[in-house]
Structure 1
Amino acid sequence: MTSFEHDFPFDPSYGRTLDDLLRVPAPATAPDDFDAFWRARYAQARAVATEPELGPLEEERDGVRIHGVTFTSVGGVRLGGWVALPAEGASAEYGFVIGHGYGGREEPGPDVPLPLPRSAAILPCVRGLPTRGLREGVPDASARHVLHGIASRDTYVIGDCVADLWCAASALNELVPETDPRAGGPRLGYLGESFGGGLGALALPWDDRFGAGQLTVPTFGNHPLRLTLPCAGSGEAVRGHHRTHPEVTEVLRYFDAATAATRLELPVLVAAALFDPSVPPPGQFAVYNALPGERELQVLSAGHFEHPGRAAETEELYAARRRFFGAHLKA
């Protein structure tokens, strides 16, 4: 159990040791039509003509040229983001889809450099979130975004955000055909942190274009448990809503990252924290513990929290992901 000085009105380690966390399960049951629901959502997303448009060069660094991009997702929603292409016109040997946290993204930032050289990547902003996913009618603040459409599994924004990732993959495959495994290239890699980690756990089981994934401090794991744990992140808004709308538990069952992880058989690297005020560690570890396939765990002292060892742990994680994707993304 890791402890840091803090001023939160709760314990961000939730009294759990690492051994305790390694025993946190996924929810005991899933909806009978959980798989059918997600396969239908995936089929809908794959039917979208994403019509990606590459913008002018915005930046060149770390072996890639970074362009703006727009593409179409489900519901005809036009989204933006960035595409990183190998510098000097080299062909891409690997492709990545890179999710973001609940703050959105204003630039590619620390997601570049990419995990492997000679890679291309798409860094989408999912609907509603800054800066290139802003959409009228969809809240851009995490505490409101996480509740948008939550009355029904068919309208909950989280399902559409997962679809945005699938459509982003389609857009990358169209822009950079050598990243398309259907054309003989290696399968894609996925990286996502926090919000993007939870979305990745929900997205990856159904999409055979992906060959490996990294989920860092993933959210949405074991909602029944999360509803009992105070936090400083979007989960607190869900807890507050649940107090007056207890029926929301039936909707959340379809969007549980740990339940989805039980269906996730490709290799996954999970970085989970012992102390995290925004995404309770028990939910993070529930995602890792549920994985039935090849998996690796990188234990972080803390997530969503500045501490003296954070830079060193980040470098260790970057080294682990380079090794991990180098081993698992093969043609």
Structure 2
Amino acid sequence: MPHFTSTVDELHRYAPEVDEPDDFDEFWRDTLAEASAVPVLADVRPEPTDLRLLDSWDVTFAGFGGEPVRAWYTRPAGVREPLPAVVEYAGYGRGRGLPHERLTWPVAGYAHLLMDNRGQAGQYGAGDTPDPHGAPGGPWPVTWGILDPRNYHYRRLITDAVRAVEAARALPGVAADRISVVGNSQGGGIALAVAGLVDDLSAVLSTAPFLCDMRRAVQSTEPAPYGEIARYLAVHRQAEEAVWRTLSYVEAVSFARRATAPAQFGVGRRDTVCPPRTAFAAYNHYGAANGRPVPPEREMHVYPFNGHEGGEAVHVRRQLRWLDSVLHPARAGR
């Protein structure tokens, strides 16, 4: 397939125009204003984990519509000063799991908030945040409410993700002016969406991102989640125009154009789930609409023989070193 055989040079030139509705900014401004009317932190309680070097809390915050969203907050034990925070978004079909399942960022010395995916848990990981909205659409999360952008599942999930940043800033022990967002696959697409909606992030780390160049992705790849949209359209043939319109409001390329924070990307060139061309569409447009004469710092790591797993531990090491260099530039030179 062409998007797997493109050279790296061709990928770096791939900057397609995507569908963007005229009221894109107004849609998200109104959505987030409605959510922000509710105080963000609902409950924070210590969570026993048997991990003596880390402290964890079970957090509930108000997401879309003021609805409760669960998260784990974890940080190094015994550290009193406020720490830079990493807000992490999970992949498709995953929930927040248990607090000891994702320890890279707190072990590296960061405050870490891992957001649950509303309604998605059960395919690859446990979660406990429901999505109590019924709307016409298919049986999979990516098709819930897909006929109307106001009813779409990802309108709610992206709103939750923005509110997770607000929740992190309100938590004790967090340096509120040093918040970064990170995610792989669906989490990578959500991180890009937050980057376009929150203008004072410290950094964005997005690996194999979903939600990018979505029309072309649905038309060119078979695995879920994009394949689930194609399977929905194979049955609901008359819904195509409505589906493309809805997806245009959650297109990560549009969010990436509005981003202002430094960003690091990673892709596997043999990725059939989130094809590398789609990630480059977001990378090549990143920061283009922010009004700055110089776009924000960004870098891309390509793993030629890897698929959706990307660079795995090698890439995580690069993420750790890159984020440290962004937050502590003087230290990066040593």
Higher mean displacement: 218-227 or 242-251: 242-251
TM-score by length of 1: 0.84
Equivalent residue, structure 2, for 1:41: 31
C-alpha deviation, 1:281, in angstroms: 1.9
Unaligned segments of structure 2, at least 5 residues: 122-126, 288-295, 330-334
Contact 1:233–1:279 (CA<8 Å) still a contact in 2?
A: no
C-alpha deviation, 1:163, in angstroms: 0.8
CA separation in 2, counterparts of 1:212 and 1:145?
28
CA separation in 2, counterparts of 1:149 and 1:261?
24
Matched, 1:201 2:204: no
TM-score by length of 2: 0.83
Contact 1:12–1:231 (CA<8 Å) still a contact in 2?
A: no
Superposed counterparts of 1:10-25, under 5 Å:
14-25=4-15
Given candidates 317, 320, 327, the residue that maps to 1:319 is: 317
Matched, 1:255 2:250: yes
Equivalent residue, structure 2, for 1:3: none
Equivalent residue, structure 2, for 1:280: 275
Given candidates 175, 181, 206, the residue that maps to 1:179 is: 175
Unaligned segments of structure 1, at least 5 residues: 1-10, 182-186
Contact 1:226–1:280 (CA<8 Å) still a contact in 2?
A: yes
Contact 1:115–1:325 (CA<8 Å) still a contact in 2?
A: no
Equivalent residue, structure 2, for 1:161: 157
Indicate the RMSD between aligned Cα atoms, in angstroms: 2.6
Equivalent residue, structure 2, for 1:184: none
Q: Count the aligned residue pairs.
A: 308
C-alpha deviation, 1:199, in angstroms: 1.1
Equivalent residue, structure 2, for 1:7: none
CA separation in 1, counterparts of 2:194 and 2:155?
9
CA separation in 1, counterparts of 2:275 and 2:63?
31
C-alpha deviation, 1:63, in angstroms: 4.6
Equivalent residue, structure 1, for 2:207: 216
CA separation in 2, counterparts of 1:115 and 1:22?
33
One-letter amino acid matched to 1:328: V
Matched, 1:128 2:128: no
Contact 1:116–1:322 (CA<8 Å) still a contact in 2?
A: no
Equivalent residue, structure 2, for 1:302: 306
CA separation in 2, counterparts of 1:110 and 1:57?
14
Q: CA 1:224 to 1:129, structure 2 compared with 1: closer, same or farther past 3 Å?
A: closer
One-letter amino acid matched to 1:15: T
CA separation in 2, counterparts of 1:206 and 1:21?
26
Equivalent residue, structure 1, for 2:60: 70
One-letter amino acid matched to 1:299: V
Equivalent residue, structure 1, for 2:240: 246
C-alpha deviation, 1:125, in angstroms: 0.5
Q: CA 1:35 to 1:26, structure 2 compared with 1: closer, same or farther past 3 Å?
A: farther
Contact 2:76–2:106 (CA<8 Å) still a contact in 1?
A: no
One-letter amino acid matched to 2:326: H
Given candidates 258, 263, 266, the residue that maps to 1:268 is: 263
One-letter amino acid matched to 2:61: F
CA separation in 1, counterparts of 2:255 and 2:184?
16
